[in-house]
Structure 1
Amino acid sequence: MEGSSTHIEDPSILDNTGHGPLRVPGFGDIPMNYELPPEARFAHGIYEWRQAPAVTARELAMVAVMNHLTDHLDWHVDISNDEVVARWKKEAFDMTALMSDKTWDWCLKELRDKAIDFRENQHIRVLDTGSCVCKSDTPTLSSLSTLFRWAVPPVLRQQKAQQGLDWKSKQVLSIVDPWLFPLVYGKTLVLDRGRVDLHDVLGAYKHATVAPKPVDKRVSFMKLQRWVDKGQIPARGTTPNDHLETEYYRWSWNYQCLPCEVEFVKDTGTEVRITSYINNLHPAYQGLYGAIEKVISLAIKPWNDCLVQGQSDWSKDSNHGQLGPVPLRIITYGIEWENELPDWADAFNVPSTIRKRIYRRHREELQRSMEDDTKEGRKRQRKLQALEAGFCDVAGKENMEKPPPDSDLWGKAKEYLERPEDGSTSPMALPQDWQSNPWRRLQEKVERVLRWKHPEPGTAFSYEEWKSGQHHDKPIIDIVRDRPDWGPERPFYPVIPPHTPYAITLEDTFRQQGLQVLVELENIELTPDAPTYSKGRWQLPGQLNEHIVGVAVFAYDVHNITDPRIAFRQYTRLHGCYYRYHEELVAKRSVLLNCRPAHRQGKTYGLEYDAIEQILGFPPLYLSIDNYANPPYQDAGSIATPQGRLITFPNVLEHRVEPFQLVDSTVAGHYRFLKLYLVDPHYRVCSTRNVPPQQHHWWAAAVGSDLATAGLPREMIDEIVQRTDSWPMGMSEARQHRRALHNEHLWNEMTKLGRMRGPGF
C-alpha cells in the first residue's frame, strides 16, 4: 500500500447498526481514510488495478466475437447445432481479420462451456480478459422492465413539480441521483445511536448531531481546479504538489455518498429487501423500491463472478498487479518472427580487414595506457575505452574468417537467400556477388522477408489446461527476468504471482450483515431537435470514501434508438522492463549500435516497436519513449444493453455510454436505466440508516401534512415551511454540493493521470 491511508486489520470493529455508537470511517475513533489491507477486501480501480500482462489484440478479438455471438437469441441452444455453428464461424471470420481456424476452435470450445454456465446461472462472463463483465437476459428481467416502466413515471412527475426545472430542455434526466444530498462533513445531521426508520424517516431528527469535519489535506486543489476550469489534463509524471499529496485526492474530505442498507430475506438464496431509504427516492414509492430490490437480488450472483479479490503486495513494482477472476488465453512478452536470420548466419558476420586493423591498434594503445597512472594517462584510457566500444562487432572476432568453401553453411546461406518473397512461391534468384558479400546480402534479405505474427491461443498451453487452471500462466515468449540495463539503482526482477482461481459468494459471506448499495436512475432522452447522444465520458465511480467495488446496469426502457452500448477500458501498464520490445529501446539509447541483433539493423530498426504495438492492439507510436499524450489504457470492448438486459462489472474497469441516435428521426426516443453501485461489504460506511433525510421538500411535505391534520390553516402552514426553506438542506444548496463533489472526482482523476507513467515504463 502507498500513501497515508490508515490500516485497521479487523473489519468487525465497524458498526452502523444503531445498536451501539456509530463506528464507521469518519466517525467514532475510525479515521476517515481508513482502509483494510488489500487481501482483506475487494480491489478497486482508483489506484489499485492494472491489467498485466497486456491483453493481445487477438484475444481482444476473440472475446469480442464471443460476446457478439452470445447476443443471438437462444445462442446457448444453437451452439450445439452444427449448421448454425458453421454460419457463426463465417460470421466470426467476417468480424475480424484476427480470426483463424485455431482461434475459432478455441472460441467454439469456450462458447459451449459458456452455454452450460448460462443454463445453470442465467448469466455469463464476457469481455473476460483478466477482469470481466457479466451479462444476463432472462424472462424475469423482461418482466421487471415492464414494472419499471410503470413505477418510474410518477417519480419523474413528482420531481418535476418539486424541483421546478424545465425538464424538456434536458437530454439527461437524473431521476434518482446518488451524488445529490450527500453526507456533508461538518453539516449533515447523523445519528450516533439508533436508526432511521424506513417507515418514519422524519422521526429521527431530534436525536441527530452534526457530522464531524476532518482536516482537508489537499493543499494544491486550486491548481487542479484551474485545470478543471480550462478543461486541461495534467501531463503524466506531474502531481498537484508532490507524490505525498496525491494520496489525499483519492478521498473526499468534504463528502460521502449515502448508500441504502440491503438485507437478505432468507437463510439461503439472494432474495433481499431494502431496510433504509434510498437517498433521493422517497419510501412512499414502494412499487419502485420493490422493483429495485428484485434487480439487486438478480445482480448478486453476477457480481460474484466479476468482483476482483484483493491481493497483497500488488503495488510493488516487482509484481504485475491485482489478478482478475479470469486468466488470459494468450500470454506473450515478445514477438514471434518468421524468416528471422538463424544463429548460423553469424558465421558470415566477419569484420572487415580495416576494422580489425583499427581495433587491434586501439587495443594495443589501451594496453600501453594502462601502465600510465597519471591524470593524463587515465584520461587517455577513458578515451580509448570509449573508442573501443564502437568496435564491439569486432571484439572476439579479430582472427575470424569466412567459413571454408566446403562448409555446409554456404548451402544454408544459399537456401535462405533463395526464399520466396512478396507472397510468391517461386525461389528468388541469387545475387551475383553473394559469395563475396554474404553477410551484406543476408542482411538485405532479412529486411525484405522478416515478418512477425500474431500469437495464437493453444500455443503455450491447451484449452483444457486453461479451463482447469493448469496452464500456469505460461507465456509464448517469456518475460525478461533480469534487467541489468537499468543500472544498480533500478534493478528489476519481476515476481509473477500464479493466477489462482477464487470463488466469491456475497450471499453467504455477508448474509448476516447485508449489503450497502447506491442507487441511480437516469434517462437519456432524444428528440427530433436533439437526435444524437454523444456526451458519454469515461467513469470510475466514487472516491475511496464510498468504497465502490461493483456496478450493475439494468436497461429497462429502450425505444427508437440505435443499439445502446457501454464501452470499457482498463489501466494497462506495459512495463517495458519485462517486455522484450524494450530491448530495442535500450539499444537505441546505447552507442553500441552495431551490436544489435541482425534482424533489427538497417531498415528493420523500429519493426520491433511496430510489431509489439500491433500484437497488443495499440496505435502506432504508442510505446514511444517520447509519448506522453496517450494514457496507458487498453480498450476492453463494449457490450450492448438492449431493453431487459442486466450487466455487472467490477469497479476496476472504466466505463462510458457509447454514442447513439434516433432510428426514426421524426419521433422521440430514449434510453432509461437503473444503475447500482455496490459498496465493498468488507466495510461498513455511513448510510441512510444513520442519516435522517436532508431533503427539505420531504420534510416540508411531512410537516405540512402533520400541521394540516392538527387543524392549522394553510396560510400558517405555508409560512412555517417558508421560514425554514433551507432546513435540513434546500435544493439549491444540494446542487452546489453536487457540483463541488463532481469537481473533487475530477481532481482525483487528474491526480491519477498525473501519476501514471507512460504506456511502456
Structure 2
Amino acid sequence: MLPRCKGHFWQRPLQLCTRRFLTTTSHRYTAMRMSDKGLVTKTRVQFKYPGVDIDLRDHPGRDESHYPVGCHPNVGGIESPILPMREVGMMLLMDKLTDKPEWFKKVFDEKIVEKWRRESQTQPEDGLFATIMTDKMDAPVPQPKRIISEAAFDFCIEELRSKAKYYAQSKLIPSLDSGFNTVVKSDELVSKTLHQDIHASFQQLLADQAGCPDWHPNSNDKVQDLVHPSMYPFVYGRSLFIHDEAVGVHNATDFVGQGQIVPKNADRATLEGVPNNELYHYSPGGLEINPEYWSNTYQWLPANVAFKDDGQSEFTSYINGLRPDKYPGIYKIIERLLDVVIPAWDQCLTEISGRDRHSSGRRSSRFEWIREATDEDDSLWSPFDVEFWKASDYRLPLDSLIELNEEEKLYKEGECLTGEERDEEYRLYEQGLSPRVAYVDSEKLAREKWRQCRDAVLPEPKGSTEIDYAPRQNLREKFRESGLQVIIKMASIELTPEKPDFPAGGWHVEGQMNERICATALYYVDCENVTPSHLSFCMATDSYLDDSIDYEAGAFNWLERVYGTGLCSDGSAASANIQQYGTVETRQGRVLAFPNDFQHAVSSFSLQDKTKPGHRRFIALWLVDPHQRIISTANVPPQQKEWWLQHQDIRNTPVASQAIPESLMTVEEANEHRLKLMEVRTRVDQISEFGIPGYNFCEH
C-alpha cells in the first residue's frame, strides 16, 4: 500500500493559469509503480489540468500540436475537402470489396476482377446513390446514369492492390479515406484467443449484472451498460481531486476521502449576454468556440495508460466502472486489446501543427480540383442530339413553355395571351392536353428538353499514384514518457421477440470539449441473431466553397451534380456543408478506428429470427488527445460507495467503526448525475446540428 498523501494540492488555493498551457513543465518528479515484472521506476511528468491549473475552455492555438477534436467547426483541422459524388461511390465500392473473404488475394486474380467489373457496370446503383445523398435528397441532383465508370473501377482495383500489400504486413484496411481523413477497419487484428477472452469478460459482467441490469436511460431496456463513463463522472463542485497522479489500480480505494473539491467553473456557460456584434466570433469560420461545447459540471474520467519497457500497455489508474480488485483479469484483457488497436489509431490520426498536417495514407482527393465551371459549357453535359429531342415525348413544364415564348418571342406577331387564355392553357396542360404553344421553334423546344433532362459528364479520377500507407507517427514512441489516457465503454444491445428492433442513432462525435477525445476504436465482440448494422460517417466541409470556385450566378447545377449537394443559398435547395463518406459494416470480430472529427451514426437493425432473442455486444476505447492531460482516475479516488463498502469487507474493517466518506456516491445519486450529463450532451448535439451552415452560392 502506498503511504497516504500529505501536503500537495489541497493545502494551497486553486489558481487558474491564464497563459497558454504547456504540455509539460520543466519540473519533474519520480514515482514508483508495480508492474507484472516487479517494481519499476519511471520518470513521470507534472501536468497542468484544464479547470484546475488552466482555463477549463483552454484549447490549442493554431500553432500548437494537437489531434483534432470534432465538437465544433472552429476547432482547427476538422474540415474535409468537398468530394465528388463519384469518389464517395468509389470508397463505398472498395469498402464492399474488402468485406469479401480473402479480398487481398482475389484482387490480383484477373478472372475475379473481371467478374467484379461486369457487376459494377451492370448492377443498379439506386442504393449507392441513396447512401451518397444521405440527408441531401432534396438537393437538385438527379441520379447520374453511372456513378462507377470503367475508369473509376480500374482506379479502385489499382488502389486495392496497393492496400492489399499494406494489409499483408499490417492487417489494417484504410477503408473510407480521402483528404487526410481515414476510417480504418480490420477483421484480423484481434486473435481468436483474445476474442475468446473478451467474450468471456462480457459473459462475466453480464452474469454479475443478471439480478439488476443497468439499462441505459431512454433505451427502452435494450442497451445494457456494463461499463459506462457517464456513471460516476467527475463532478465539479462535488468530486475530490488529487493533483499528483497518485491513485493507481489495485490501491485505488485506499485514496477514498482524500483530495480537494474543485469548484465549478464560473465562466459564461452559454452565449446568452454576448453582444450581437460579437456573435459572429462563435459562428463557423470564427475564432471562438461556443462555450456550451464544454460542461461546467461534468467530465468523463479516463484511465491512465503507461508503456512498459517492451512497449506493451499497462493501466496505471483504475477504469471508472470496473472494480480492479474484482476484475483484474478483465483489466489485462483490455490492455491486450489496447495494444492491438493503437496501430489503428496511428493509421487514422492526423496531427495538426500550425499549417502542417502529419498523417499516413491518402492526403488528397482522387480527383482534380475544379477551379471553374458554368452550366453554359455544353462540354460538361451529355451531347445535344437535336433530332432525338425533337422526337422525344418529354413534356416540358408549362412555366418553361411560357418562358420560352416570352424570351424568344415565338408567338405570332400581334398575338398576346390574356390572363384567361393563360389559365385555360394551364388547365389543358394539367389534363394532359397540349397547351397552345404551336409557334415555339422546334429546335428551341428540343434544346430546352435536353437542358432539363441532360446528364452531367462526371469527372474521372486523376492518374493513380503510389500511396504510402505506413503510419508516420507512433503513439507508443511519441508519448512513451507521458503515456495515454483512455475512456472505456462496454455495452450489450439486447433484442427480444417483444422488442425486436433497434432504431437508428443520430449523428454525433464522442464527448464534449472537456474530454478532448481525438479517436475511437470499436471492437464488435458478439453479434447473434441480428441483421447487419453499419456505422455511417460524415464530416464538415468549408461553407465558403464559392470563394474557391469560379462560377456564374445561377449556372452551377453541374457542380451540384458533381459534388452531390445543393449549393444555392436561396430556399430549400441549399444543403448543409457536410461531406458524406459512406458506411462500414459493424460485423462480429471487426475493429473500427477513426478520428473524432468524423461524425458518425449507427444504422437500425432487428432480430433475424423474430421468435428468438438476439444481441450485439461491443467495447469502445476513446483516446484523449495525448498533447493535453485531463483529469483522470489517477487524480480522482473511486466515487462508488459500493466499492468502498466491499473493500472494507475484504479488509475485515467494521464499517460502523468509521464514518463513510462524503465523497462517495450511491447508485441513485450516480444515476441522477448520468441523466443530467446526458441532458447536457443532448443539448450540445442539438446546437451542433442546428449550427451547421449551408453552402453559399449566389443564385441571382
- Please name the residue that 2:173 is paired with: 124
Which of 467, 487, 504 does residue 473 from structure 2 map onto? 504
Deviation at residue 502 of structure 1 after TM alignment: 7.9
- Please name the residue that 2:424 is paired with: none
2:582 corresponds to 1:646: no
> Which digits, 9 at most, give the CA deviation of each residue in 1:569-590, with x for residues without a partner?
11124424236586324xxxxx
Opposite residue 158 of structure 2, the aligned amino acid is K
> Which digits, 9 at most, give the CA deviation of each residue in 1:288-320, with x for residues without a partner?
212211221111111111112225369xxxxx9
- Please name the residue that 1:90 is paired with: 118
Worse-superposed segment, 645-654 or 532-541: 532-541
- Please name the residue that 1:613 is paired with: 560
The 3 A distance-change label for structure 1 pair 720 and 115 is same
- Please name the residue that 2:458 is paired with: 455
Opposite residue 615 of structure 1, the aligned amino acid is V
CA contact (8 A) 1:554 1:675 kept: yes
Deviation at residue 196 of structure 1 after TM alignment: 1.1
Opposite residue 173 of structure 2, the aligned amino acid is I
Opposite residue 746 of structure 1, the aligned amino acid is T
Distance 2:365 2:505 in 1: 29
Which of 338, 360, 364 does residue 296 from structure 1 map onto? 338
Pairs within 5 Å for 1:486-497 = none
The 3 A distance-change label for structure 1 pair 339 and 582 is closer
2:388 corresponds to 1:421: yes
Distance 1:650 1:730 in 2: 35
CA contact (8 A) 1:205 1:692 kept: yes
Local SS of the residue matching 1:551:
strand
CA contact (8 A) 2:386 2:443 kept: no
Q: Considering only CA atoms, is the larger Rg found in Structure 1 or Structure 2?
A: 1
Local SS of the residue matching 1:503:
coil
Which of 239, 260, 264 does residue 213 from structure 1 map onto? 264
Local SS of the residue matching 2:668:
helix
- Please name the residue that 1:29 is paired with: 53
> Alignment length, in residue pairs?
585
Deviation at residue 558 of structure 1 after TM alignment: 0.7
Q: Which has the higher helix share?
A: 1
- Please name the residue that 1:182 is paired with: 233
Local SS of the residue matching 1:525:
strand
The 3 A distance-change label for structure 1 pair 180 and 22 is farther
CA contact (8 A) 2:249 2:316 kept: yes
RMSD: 3.9
* Structure 1 unaligned spans of 5+: 224-235, 315-319, 343-415, 426-432, 435-439, 470-500, 586-599, 601-607
- Please name the residue that 1:583 is paired with: 552
Deviation at residue 197 of structure 1 after TM alignment: 2.8
Which of 488, 505, 521 does residue 552 from structure 1 map onto? 521
Local SS of the residue matching 2:147:
coil
- Please name the residue that 1:75 is paired with: 103
CA contact (8 A) 1:517 1:677 kept: yes
The 3 A distance-change label for structure 1 pair 516 and 166 is closer
Local SS of the residue matching 2:367:
coil
The 3 A distance-change label for structure 1 pair 546 and 139 is closer
> Which digits, 9 at most, give the CA deviation of each residue in 1:394-442, with x for residues without a partner?
xxxxxxxxxxxxxxxxxxxxxx9975535999xxxxxxx99xxxxx988
* Structure 2 unaligned spans of 5+: 1-16, 32-43, 126-145, 393-408, 411-440
CA contact (8 A) 2:185 2:590 kept: yes
TM-score normalised by structure 2 residue count: 0.75
Distance 1:699 1:527 in 2: 36
> Which digits, 9 at most, give the CA deviation of each residue in 1:242-276, with x for residues without a partner?
x99963112111121110111122355xx212121
Local SS of the residue matching 2:337:
helix
- Please name the residue that 2:602 is paired with: 657
Distance 1:463 1:44 in 2: 31
2:683 corresponds to 1:747: yes
Deviation at residue 447 of structure 1 after TM alignment: 3.4
Distance 1:580 1:632 in 2: 15
The 3 A distance-change label for structure 1 pair 194 and 75 is closer
Worse-superposed segment, 45-54 or 625-634: 625-634
Opposite residue 319 of structure 2, the aligned amino acid is I
Pairs within 5 Å for 1:529-540 = 529-540=498-509
Distance 1:551 1:166 in 2: 20
> Which digits, 9 at most, give the CA deviation of each residue in 1:722-751, with x for residues without a partner?
x84975111122122222222222333333
Local SS of the residue matching 1:756:
coil
Deviation at residue 689 of structure 1 after TM alignment: 1.1
Distance 1:274 1:21 in 2: 16
Distance 2:53 2:333 in 1: 38
Local SS of the residue matching 2:521:
strand
Distance 2:23 2:216 in 1: 46
Distance 1:423 1:237 in 2: 53
Worse-superposed segment, 677-686 or 44-53: 44-53
> Which digits, 9 at most, give the CA deviation of each residue in 1:499-548, with x for residues without a partner?
xx982211211112111100000111111111111142222111111110
CA contact (8 A) 1:631 1:759 kept: yes
Which of 202, 208, 223 does residue 152 from structure 1 map onto? 202
The 3 A distance-change label for structure 1 pair 308 and 330 is same
Deviation at residue 55 of structure 1 after TM alignment: 1.0
Deviation at residue 89 of structure 1 after TM alignment: 1.8
Deviation at residue 68 of structure 1 after TM alignment: 0.3
- Please name the residue that 2:495 is paired with: 526
Opposite residue 115 of structure 1, the aligned amino acid is A
> Which digits, 9 at most, give the CA deviation of each residue in 1:80-101, with x for residues without a partner?
1111112222333326331111
Distance 2:543 2:388 in 1: 33
Local SS of the residue matching 1:577:
helix
The 3 A distance-change label for structure 1 pair 52 and 190 is closer
